[in-house]
Amino acid sequence: MSYVDEVMQRVVEKNPSEKEFHQAVKEVLDSLRVVIEKNEEKYRKDALLERITEPERVISFRIPWVDDKGQVQVNRGFRVQFNSAIGPYKGGLRLHPSVNQGIIKFLGFEQIFKNSLTGLPIGGGKGGSDFDPKGKSDREIMAFCQSFMTELHKYIGADTDVPAGDIGVGGREIGYLYGQYKRLTGLYEGVLTGKGLTYGGSLARTEATGYGLVYMLDEMLKANGKAIAGSTVVISGSGNVAIYATQKAQQLGAKVVALSDSNGYVYDKDGIDLDLVREIKEVRRGRIKEYVEARPGAVYTEGKGIWTVPCDIALPCATQNELGLEDAKALKANGCYAVAEGANMPSTREATDFFQENGMLFMPGKAANAGGVATSALEMSQNSQRLSWSFEEVDAKLHEIMIGIFKKVDEASKRYGLEGNYVAGANIAGFEKVVEAMNAQGVV
Ligand SMILES: NC(=O)C1=CN([C@@H]2O[C@H](COP(=O)(O)OP(=O)(O)OC[C@H]3O[C@@H](n4cnc5c(N)ncnc54)[C@H](OP(=O)(O)O)[C@@H]3O)[C@@H](O)[C@H]2O)C=CC1
Ligand SMILES: N=C(CCC(=O)O)C(=O)O
């Protein structure tokens, strides 16, 4: 049995119910076979793969809070501090009823290599809770966040572990979390990113993941003789990543024709009216189906199916495993030639393999959606200097970082004779820096 297969077997046996974690590890290890085979003896002796697939720390805790009816509620919280070889743990907090340890471990594992690709000094971590923010009052959100931070603050800090947003965690939640941290510790420090602009947040952080996704898409298309301008684009989700990916795609001349949420999707043949979507989602915290009430020419469809909408470019920006093999086949049949992942692991392994086997351009999330965490690291830099950079300065740095990530990914794929395989390129380029740091730091 190969070393990779031995380690994969260990991961499955030691984490039996964590299927998303298995999926994330398998994708990375499979693409690293060419690298591992060249160093197998040393890697085995150092138990390198056993260490890199084992979190440095997994923290789980009870979160009690009182709802508006005076009823005590209980949720479960997590923080996975996965790998600190190249910097303090850095990664988002996800609030969604589907959250469990396996989900947070898959996200934390992906974050290791994503953060490495940015070239910034940030390690991999992730956290969250099975708390469902949907339908909760502001007071209930605050009560939950204060209880969450009452536990979490024991394990985080500006030079230890810096959480941020993810699904269900936006500016409102970060604000409540930050206020509680400050109250408990008496420290005013950059311990969270995605903060409000009046208390240490960075301009362009709200836009960063979506903008960075489109910057990466632009690089991938240009390297392959294509362009965003004039293309038809379908974007899943209608949250932070999807909204600002839509904005940047429209600015670069694309026509975005569909967005979704967990209830269904809207198709607007005339192109999505982003101001209307932002009013519905960011102001009213409503459902995407409300879009057609103001745009009768648009069509709302309940449930899944957004990937049957004909497009040139697909940008999955909702959640993991939202795009499966049948979706991939439908995209190809309708002429789609490029996919870039705004979400974390939104394509199943079968869909990813299909894209690559059928000559479609494909950029995995750890490279394509790294703009968010990269800009979070820029927020940390500003906080450390007690300075605030302009939007243009941050956006220019973000764009430069995304161009740099594409170059690393492209170079790594070519170095191993895998030109155009951006999954392999991203995993190899991300892995190499982390491994060098782990080797230098000894058996820890
Ligand atoms: N925020 C960030 O900085 C970054 C986020 N990401 C990733 O991007 C993706 C979106 O995150 P973000 O935009 O921040 O989150 P938001 O909470 O702002 O938006 C999430 C969107 O995805 C939809 N969604 C969530 N879960 C499901 C599901 N199970 N099925 C269908 N739709 C679903 C939501 O619909 P509904 O409102 O109905 O729940 C919503 O439209 C996630 O995978 C996240 O991990 C990656 C890098 C950075
Ligand atoms: N949710 C994020 C952003 C993490 C961060 O900004 O620290 C991700 O990279 O998946």
Query: Of ligand 2's atoms, which has the minimum distance to the CA of residue 376?
Result: 6
How far is it, in rounded angstroms, from Cα 346 to Cα 260? Answer: 14
202: pLDDT confidence band, cut at 50, 70 and 90? Answer: very high
CB atoms within 10 A of CB 33: 16
Residues 100-131 have pLDDT tens digits of 999 999 999 999 999 999 999 999 999 999 99
Element of type H or E holding 393: helix 391-415
Query: Of ligand 1's atoms, which has the minimum distance to the CA of residue 261?
Result: 35
335: pLDDT confidence band, cut at 50, 70 and 90? Answer: very high
How far is it, in rounded angstroms, from Cα 296 to Cα 311? Answer: 21
Query: Which residue of 103, 167, 214, 379 sits with most ligand 1 atoms within 8 Å of its CB, as the best mutation to test the pocket?
Result: 167
78: pLDDT confidence band, cut at 50, 70 and 90? Answer: very high
Q: What is the mean pLDDT of the chain?
A: 98
Once rounded to an integer, what is the mean pLDDT over residues 72-93? Answer: 98
Q: For residue 318, how far is its CA from the centre of ligand 1 (angstroms)?
A: 4
Q: Answer yes or no: is the C-beta of 167 below 6 A from any ligand 1 atom.
A: yes
Token pair for residue 149? 């931070």
pLDDT of residue 161: 98
Q: What percent of the chain has pLDDT over 90?
A: 100
Residues 255-287 have pLDDT tens digits of 999 999 999 999 999 999 999 999 999 999 999
Euclidean distance between the first and the last CA atom of the chain, given in angstroms as a whole number:
27
- Do 214 and 228 form a contact (C-beta atoms < 8 A)? yes
Once rounded to an integer, what is the mean pLDDT over residues 195-207? Answer: 98
Element of type H or E holding 142: helix 138-152
Domain 55-188, second-level architecture: 3-Layer(aba) Sandwich (3.40)
Once rounded to an integer, what is the mean pLDDT over residues 238-252? Answer: 98
pLDDT of residue 218: 98
Q: CATH number of 207-368: 3.40.50.150, 3.90.226.10, 3.40.50.720, 3.40.50.300?
A: 3.40.50.720
State the Rg of the chain over Cα: 21
Strand partners of residue 315: 235
Domain 207-368 in the same topology as domain 55-188: yes
Strand partners of residue 205: none
Query: Which residue of 104, 106, 234, 261 sits with most ligand 1 atoms within 8 Å of its CB, as the best mutation to test the pocket?
Result: 261
227: pLDDT confidence band, cut at 50, 70 and 90? Answer: very high
pLDDT of residue 327: 98
**Phi/psi class of residue 57: alpha, beta or left (left: φ > 0; alpha: ψ in -120 to 50)?**
beta
Query: Which residue of 104, 319, 376 sits with most ligand 2 atoms within 8 Å of its CB, as the best mutation to test the pocket?
Result: 376
Q: Whose CA is nearest to atom 9 of ligand 2?
A: 373
pLDDT of residue 371: 98
Q: Whose CA is nearest to atom 26 of ligand 1?
A: 319
How far is it, in rounded angstroms, from Cα 231 to Cα 250? Answer: 10
* Closest-approaching ligand to the CA atom of 341: 1
60: pLDDT confidence band, cut at 50, 70 and 90? Answer: very high
SS3 content of the chain, % helix, strand, coil (to 5): 50, 15, 35
Q: For residue 371, how far is its CA from the centre of ligand 1 (angstroms)?
A: 15
Task: Parse the chain into domains and list their residue ranges.
Answer: 55-188, 207-368
pLDDT of residue 308: 98
Strand partners of residue 89: 123, 161
pLDDT of residue 438: 98
pLDDT of residue 208: 98
pLDDT of residue 370: 99
CB atoms within 10 A of CB 254: 26
Residues making up the chain, counted from first to last: 444
Q: What percent of the chain has pLDDT over 70?
A: 100
Let me know how many helices (H) and strands (E) the chain has, helices first.
18, 12
Q: For residue 171, how far is its CA from the centre of ligand 2 (angstroms)?
A: 13
Catalytic residue among 26, 38, 45, 126: 126
Dihedral sign for Cα atoms in the order 221, 225, 228, 234? negative
pLDDT of residue 314: 99
Residue ranges of the binding site for substrate: 90, 111, 114, 165, 376
46: pLDDT confidence band, cut at 50, 70 and 90? Answer: very high
Residues 143-162 have pLDDT tens digits of 999 999 999 999 999 999 99
How far is it, in rounded angstroms, from Cα 422 to Cα 437? Answer: 23
Q: Answer yes or no: is the C-beta of 344 below 6 A from any ligand 2 atom.
A: yes
Q: For residue 192, how far is its CA from the centre of ligand 1 (angstroms)?
A: 19
- Do 441 and 83 form a contact (C-beta atoms < 8 A)? no
* Closest-approaching ligand to the CA atom of 365: 1
Q: For residue 319, how far is its CA from the centre of ligand 2 (angstroms)?
A: 13
- Do 127 and 99 form a contact (C-beta atoms < 8 A)? no
- Do 397 and 377 form a contact (C-beta atoms < 8 A)? no
Query: Of ligand 2's atoms, which has the minimum distance to the CA of residue 194?
Result: 6
Phi, psi angles (nearest 5°) of residue 429: -65, -40
13-25 in b/e burial notation, b at 16+ Cβ within 10 A? eebeebebbbbbb
pLDDT of residue 141: 98
Q: Whose CA is nearest to atom 47 of ligand 1?
A: 369
How far is it, in rounded angstroms, from Cα 156 to Cα 188? Answer: 13
Q: Answer yes or no: is the C-beta of 341 below 6 A from any ligand 1 atom.
A: no
Once rounded to an integer, what is the mean pLDDT over residues 355-378? Answer: 98
Task: Indicate if 126 belongs to the active site.
Answer: yes
pLDDT of residue 254: 98
Strand partners of residue 264: 261, 302
How far is it, in rounded angstroms, from Cα 345 to Cα 86? Answer: 23
83: pLDDT confidence band, cut at 50, 70 and 90? Answer: very high
Q: Whose CA is nearest to atom 6 of ligand 1?
A: 343
pLDDT of residue 442: 97
Residues 390-437 have pLDDT tens digits of 999 999 999 999 999 999 999 999 999 999 999 999 999 999 999 999
Once rounded to an integer, what is the mean pLDDT over residues 220-228? Answer: 98
